[in-house]
Amino acid sequence: MAFFDFLKRLADSGADDRRRRLEAVSFRHEEDGGDMNCAVLDSIKINAELPPASAPDMAFSPAAAAETAKPAPLPQPGGIYAMQERNGGMYRLVKVVHAEDGMVHILRYAGRFLQIPEQLEEEELHLDVDAIDGSFGAAHLPIPAQSFAVNSIHLADSPLTDEDFHGWRLYVDSIYDCLSESAPPWLRKAGSYAAWRDDRNAMAALADRYLLGAALPRDSKKARYWLNRLVQQGIGLVQPGEQAQEEYQILTGGIYVREMEDGWAVCKAALKDKNGVQLLICPARFEQPPKKTNPARLLAQAGQDFTHASLSADSFLSRPAVFMGLLPITLEELLCYRKHLQALCGETELRPSAFELILQRAEAGEAEAQMEAAQIYLSGDPEWEVEQSIAEAVTWLTEAANLGHGPAAHALAMICRDGAGEAVSQDAQLSFEWLLYAAQLDYGPAQLEAAACCLQGRGCPQDHALAHAWLSVAASHDNGLSEEERQQAKLQRQDLDARLPAAQKAKARDYFRQLQESFAGA
């Protein structure tokens, strides 16, 4: 539910206002400001005459360009399409997650197809690296609607899930980070160019800044997002098996077999930008360059213990290097690169991390931030360098619940019901007490769970009349339940109603009236 609350906040701000703000910044041509927090990384010099962004990995039809006066129809979110790669290549499967203002935001699934699939299989819709051909999906790509309309073929529709929006959320959040009033002019410009024109220097600068926490909150998720957008841009520019002889053949995310003094090594470019090549080198050595192979398997064969080297493009090209393919940047690779940047920046003053900012809001008494901090502590988050801590999670859930946050009270009820190792013992009675508290805060899932507990006698005496009353509350209140969940509650109540004797039905009506009065008095 938290993500859809996020969507609502975006909707409340007004799509037209967001578009105008982004466009206003995107088309500014003033000189970049020199207010830099990290002297080692130069300010970005962006070409103000860059053409509008085209699809990062799809063909763009000249016929479509000739008809730009006709706005392309926007596809419906949830639609699954087949899109062709550049120059009439193989097909990829994509899913639309959002469409507005002439842009279509998609997920791109791993796997390539010579022909448009006649039937979609569940296993074909995944975002991980494909072990067979080394292709990989993208959590988010923005594509101009005109290009999407010309190069896509609708195959099916699929319900959107919270996970489908992960990449788009990072994209929107990072653009708003850049547009904050405290952001220096160069950063506002970088964010708008990265969003609207896929400028490589802008995306590289955002990745570095998020990785360090310089001018932006330290956030490895957003750093990886922008780095992997750069990786996506390289698809189709260089063919596997080609020897890198020109600078354009050095790609972010590129897997290369490069000659070293002690043999041939597998290398990966963690970032290629105007400052040079940030190279990750695997320890294994080969007497001869491996034959053309799957880049994922080649990298696994060479090992994951990287060393970092920062080279100029000329230095990289001074030794023979064969391009083997592209792979997304992993967390381990990102952290290796971060160590290099931190060593360069020395004592530069850096901003707090994204998680530290959440904690600051939580400590200031913001219930939503307390809930968010608890969720991160529950499972831990390597990208934000947060170790799992059930005790911390319970502390923040309790703080939020005491402020009247229904989802936090419900989460505490579930933890007490199931237990959490040595940190929290199973306690059905305490679980039901938290559940009742969450239900009385008008949180729908807790009301449904309270009804189930009353039916089964979990943590409380069995009471079918009270279960009936809670199902009535769940079905009749605006409490965060979906229409499908609300209908299910009505069906359960009807089934229970058919089995209750008259005296129990009367008791259920009394319970329901009392509950309604308690909500009215709250």
Last residue of a domain, one of 292, 312, 345: 345
Q: Record the tokens describing residue 521, joined without a space.
A: 């008095």
CATH number of the domain residue 418 falls in: 1.25.40.10
Residue with tokens 């041939």: 264
**Across-strand partners of 104?**
99, 143
Summarised one tens digit per residue, pLDDT across range 127-186 is 888 877 888 999 999 988 888 998 899 999 999 988 899 999 999 899 888 888 878 888
On whether the CB atoms of residues 381 and 221 are closer than 8 A, the answer is no
Indicate yes or no: pTM above 0.85.
Answer: no
Q: Which of 232, 265, 286 is the last residue of a domain?
A: 232
Same structural domain, 396 and 489: yes
Whether residue 12 sits in one domain with residue 156: yes
* Residues 94 and 207 placed together within one structural domain of the fold: yes
d(CA 19, CA 15) in angstroms, rounded, equals 6
Same domain, 439 and 479: yes
Residue ending a domain, choose from 312, 345, 378: 345
Query: Domain check: are 207 and 321 in the same one?
Result: no
Which distant-in-sequence residues (6+ apart) come within 8 Å of 233 by Cβ? Answer: 56, 57, 198, 200, 252
Asked whether residue 377 falls in the same domain as residue 314, the answer is no
pLDDT digits (tens, 9 = 90+) for 175-229: 888 888 878 888 888 888 888 788 888 999 899 889 988 888 899 999 999 999 9
CA-CA distance, 362 to 173, in Å (whole number)?
A: 19
Residues 171 and 34 in one domain: yes
Distance CA 54, CA 143 (A): 7
Residue 258 structure tokens: 């490069």
Measure Cα distances from 48 to 53, 192, 303 in Å: 13, 12, 42
Q: Are residues 340 and 368 in the same domain?
A: no
Joined tokens for residue 297: 């398997």
Same domain, 227 and 254: no
Work out how many domains the chain is built from and give that number. Answer: 3
Same domain? 387 vs 481: yes
The SS3 of residue 339 is: helix
pLDDT at 18: 47
In a domain, residue 497? The reply is: yes
pLDDT tens readout for residues 348-403 = 667 888 899 999 999 999 999 999 999 999 999 888 889 999 999 999 999 999 99
* Same domain membership, residue 98 and residue 186: yes
Helix, strand or coil, per DSSP, at residue 26: helix
Range of the domain at 97: 2-232
Cα 376 to Cα 393: distance, rounded to the nearest angstrom = 8
